[in-house]
Amino acid sequence: MIQEAHWEQARVEAYSFWKKLPSEKISLNLCVDRTLATDAIALVELPTYPTSAMDGYAVCGKGPWRIVGEVKAGAPMKGGLKEGTAVKIATGAVIPDKTFGIIRWEIATVDGDNLNGEVKEGQEIRPAGLESNKGEVLATAGTVLNPGLIGLLAAAGHDLLEVVRIPKATIILLGDEIVLDGLPHDGLVRDALGPQLPGWLHKLGVEVIATHYVSDELDLVTKAFAAAAKNSDVVFTTAGTADGPRDHVRAAIAALKGELIIDRVKVRPGHPMVLAHINKVPFVGLPGNPQSAIVALLTLGQPVIDALMGRKEAELHQIVTGDDINVPEGFTRLVLGNIVDGWFEMGEYLGSAMLRGLAHSTGFAVAEKSMEEGEMVAWLPLP
């Protein structure tokens, strides 16, 4: 177990501890935002045939030429051209044998069946394999598929793709002080994590299969953890990670013979976060304050999810801060804000229990030390 992990160390450890989930083959049109489990190769050359890059005329030999027919896309010409002849040809149509080049229709001179124009050898012809050879890797394992990649792989001959199974998650929200609807009353507070966590997890690629609200009683927490470990690939808990008399996350994990992997991270906000496993099922313990919880989600939860999905370990980009950032000695500080004209602009309402800063920001500046305006700082985007 790592006690009081450094922020970067915590993310590396959270990523390295888990194995990729099993894969499944699914239809190409269902693969947007799914993660490739294996390299995807071209099953054919791209283009598969030599094709015309333009609407025009395919010619053989020197001009002038006699137009003897037409070649449409998807209907190759039988036989080849003869010296001094030409055919009309559509963009994407297969090049007839013995074609010297293509004359674009807008620069061709046509008089009846007679064609004149200038042409160079190979002009406006896309050779087979120009974009990729058969067997070439078009996307590597761990790639998150976007519509453009799916179009490429469809053209390369794929009907099905092998992708990593979507992780199934259970959320367990701990506490006696929350009200689930309407207005807060009698010292209770309205639940803000239950409504938002499923959305963040969906953006990270996870399917939330259950959300449970559990009172701060050790036996109830232990039973909830045991049930979640049987049915989930990953479990997220909120609250109960500090040292108060009703904070039972660590005790419940111990009662189930689980193992703590990371106990607290030296980051503000979000310090009392926890990473553990019960029967090899990851448990990510998020603090109860909303901003702290999302810091913990991106610190420990996102690397766990990336590992389960076989994605590459995330690398943070550097941006320029437009504000001074004060950081407690020995800690990393994550500061909500936005990128404006390429510069980091600090948000407002940055207290760990506050929600407005989170609602109006697109990510966190990750500061390892106090910084002044104009210095470079890492950028951790929200999903």
CATH number at residue 82: 2.170.190.11
Q: Is the pLDDT of residue 244 over 90?
A: no
pLDDT in tens, 4-41: 999 999 999 999 999 999 999 999 999 999 999 999 99
User: Which of 308, 328, 354 is the C-terminal boundary of a domain?
Assistant: 308
> How many beta carbons lie within 10 A of that of residue 201, not counting itself?
22
* 66 and 90 inside one domain: yes
pLDDT given for residue 184 in this prediction:
84
Place of tokens 């399917």: 207
pLDDT given for residue 324 in this prediction:
96
* 210 and 288 inside one domain: yes
Question: How many residues would you count in the chain?
Answer: 383
User: Which of 255, 285, 308 is the C-terminal boundary of a domain?
Assistant: 308
pLDDT given for residue 202 in this prediction:
96
| CB proximity list for 221: less than 8 A, separation 6 or greater | 172, 174, 214, 240, 248, 249, 251, 252
* 96 and 8 inside one domain: no
pLDDT given for residue 186 in this prediction:
82
* Count of structural domains within the chain: 4
Angle at 203 between CA 198 and CA 209, to 5 degrees: 35
Sign, Cα dihedral of 17, 22, 27, 30: negative
pLDDT given for residue 246 in this prediction:
85
Q: Is the pLDDT of residue 209 over 90?
A: yes
pTM: 0.89
Q: Is the pLDDT of residue 194 over 90?
A: yes
User: Which of 260, 284, 308 is the C-terminal boundary of a domain?
Assistant: 308
* 303 and 169 inside one domain: yes
Tokens standing for 365?
A: 């500046």
pLDDT given for residue 307 in this prediction:
97
> Cα–Cα distance between 344 and 379 in angstroms, integer?
8
pLDDT in tens, 367-377: 999 999 999 99
Backbone φ and ψ of 297, nearest 5°: -60, -45
* 289 and 176 inside one domain: yes
Residue range(s) defining the domain that contains residue 78? 51-126
pLDDT in tens, 305-340: 999 999 999 899 999 999 999 999 999 999 999 999
